[in-house]
Structure 1
Amino acid sequence: MISNKKKVAIFDDDEETVSICQYILKESGWEVYAFSDCINPVEKIRTIMPDVILMDNWIPDEGGIVATRKLKAQDCIKNIPVIYFSAHSAIETLAKTAGAEAYLSKPFDLDDLEQLLLKITEIN
């Protein structure tokens, strides 16, 4: 059976953030995949082929900027939108540097997260 659910991959090492996002997004009908590091991000995304990626800035190993750039360098996955999210005050600049399509400042309102996910997946 083929699933009609939209898929989201979350790269964040903050267990509380991931747990809340997983709960809310699963309740909204999303298939959620969470990773606490950026080891082999390209392979992880190729396996899942999500509709959207949530990428934290401060994530172990390479960090969000390097991981996002690696993803955007791959033809087969470069069009998957990345929402960069961080508590860093320069989040907009970091998102642009990484090559992300959108950004969300932490802490964020869960309704804002859902609205941004819907908006960005409708565009792509």
Structure 2
Amino acid sequence: MSSKTILIFDDDTNILEICSIVLEDLGYQVAVSETSHNVIERVEEIQPDLILMDNWIPKIGGVAATQRLKAHPVCRDIPVIFLSANHDLEKLAQDAGADTFLEKPFDLDVLEQMVEECVNK
């Protein structure tokens, strides 16, 4: 079992709950945040191995939050999976500097596989 930590930024409590249950069952430590305004502080506090970032998270939004992470020396090497139901998700993820993306609603098996690939790079 892994003892890696995943930090999820999403304002949808259902998504947070489902992802937390699935990822904890796989052996990950999971931390959550429903806002993105303090993204750097949260990441420095939690020190995750992977970040799941929702596009529509309150305050600054997923693109700006991810850009802040990728511009920060302590946070920039942490992989980010960008999550959204947007039709132009691939472009948003690229603009944000995310490592990869996953379209909502997503299959939990695909989430598990993507998480495994990102934390074991």
- Per the alignment, residue 31 of structure 1 pairs with 29
State the distance in 1 between where 2:74 and 2:8 align. 19
- Per the alignment, residue 45 of structure 2 pairs with 47
State the distance in 1 between where 2:74 and 2:16 align. 26
State the distance in 2 between where 1:66 and 1:97 align. 9
Which deviations, in whole Å up to 9, do the C-alpha atoms of 1:45-67 show, x marking residues without a partner?
01111010000000100000000
TM-score, normalisation: structure 1 = 0.94
SS of residue paired to 1:89 = coil
Equivalenced residues, count: 120
- Per the alignment, residue 6 of structure 1 pairs with 4
Q: CA deviation at 1:39?
A: 2.0
- Per the alignment, residue 106 of structure 2 pairs with 108
Out of 58, 64, 72, the position equivalent to 1:66 is 64
Which deviations, in whole Å up to 9, do the C-alpha atoms of 1:87-116 show, x marking residues without a partner?
001111100000000000000000100100
SS of residue paired to 2:86 = coil
- Amino-acid identity (%): 44
AA matched with 2:44: R
Q: CA deviation at 1:36?
A: 0.5
Q: CA deviation at 1:121?
A: 1.4
TM-score, normalisation: structure 2 = 0.97
Structure 1 runs (4+) greater than 3 angstroms displaced: none
State the distance in 2 between where 1:34 and 1:19 align. 9
Q: CA deviation at 1:81?
A: 0.3
State the distance in 2 between where 1:100 and 1:117 align. 13
State the distance in 1 between where 2:93 and 2:13 align. 22
- Per the alignment, residue 86 of structure 1 pairs with 84
